[in-house]
Chains A and B, each alone.
Chain A
Amino acid sequence: EAQVTQNPRYLITVTGKKLTVTCSQNMNHEYMSWYRQDPGLGLRQIYYSMNVEVTDKGDVPEGYKVSRKEKRNFPLILESPSPNQTSLYFCASSLSWSGEQFFGPGTRLTVL
């Protein structure tokens, strides 16, 4: 089954404790992205990648890192999480820049 998976689905952590949210897709898509969703703000793109080793900042990259060492994986790293990073995070992939995005199920992160 074609899908985007994210882990963990739920995470509660404390300020400053490094964490990684994994994202993997099995559709051989070139493009992958991370978004955060906050009430009243919609979805905002954090980082995106158009291919292995090619990443770029979205609208809200501060406090986040990504890597794309393999085509299928695009982990999101929070080196020193802060409470303002409490949010719902979505990973997505697409075949091209103009293609529909396939979204993962979301990761709800709470930083205390």
Chain B
Amino acid sequence: AQKVTQAQTEISVVEKEDVTLDCVYETRDTTYYLFWYKQPPSGELVFLIRRNSFDEQNEISGRYSWNFQKSTSSFNFTITASQVVDSAVYFCALSEASNQGGKLIFGQGTELSVKP
């Protein structure tokens, strides 16, 4: 069955440290999409990235980078030189082609706290 696991419930770092948020997924589909969303203390959910199962290239966007490894079913998210504004809950999510009705599975979330 499809599943997304974010084993780190809470992470606390000091500003300027690098931090990696782990995401491990389970699926039987060969075609699927993975997502990361950010939920800052204000509560809204903000889309960060989408990656399809056929594209294993790592992606970098400013201080953010994502490492997708199908061999280990992982889609990890790294923040370089963290800032206080990065403090938020981060969710990893999975959408499968066999569920083209729009079923989306979220992980439990990782709460990141960046201290000055």
Contacts and interface: CB of A to CB of B under 8 A. Distances in A.
A100 B102 contact: no
A33 to B, nearest CB: 6
Interface residues of A, number: 30
B107 interface: yes
Contact of A98 (B37, B44, B95, B107): B95
Interface string A54-67: 10101100000000
A49 interface: yes
A101 B47 contact: yes
Contacts of B6: 42
A100 B35 contact: yes
A51 to B, nearest CB: 9
Interface in B99-116: 99-109
Given A103-B44, A106-B43, A42 B101 contact: no
B45 A103 contact: yes
Given A50-B102, A102-B47, 15 more contacts: A32-B102, A33-B102, A35-B106, A45-B103, A48-B101, A49-B101, A56-B103, A92-B45, A97-B95, A97-B97, A98-B97, A100-B50, A101-B37, A101-B45, A101-B47
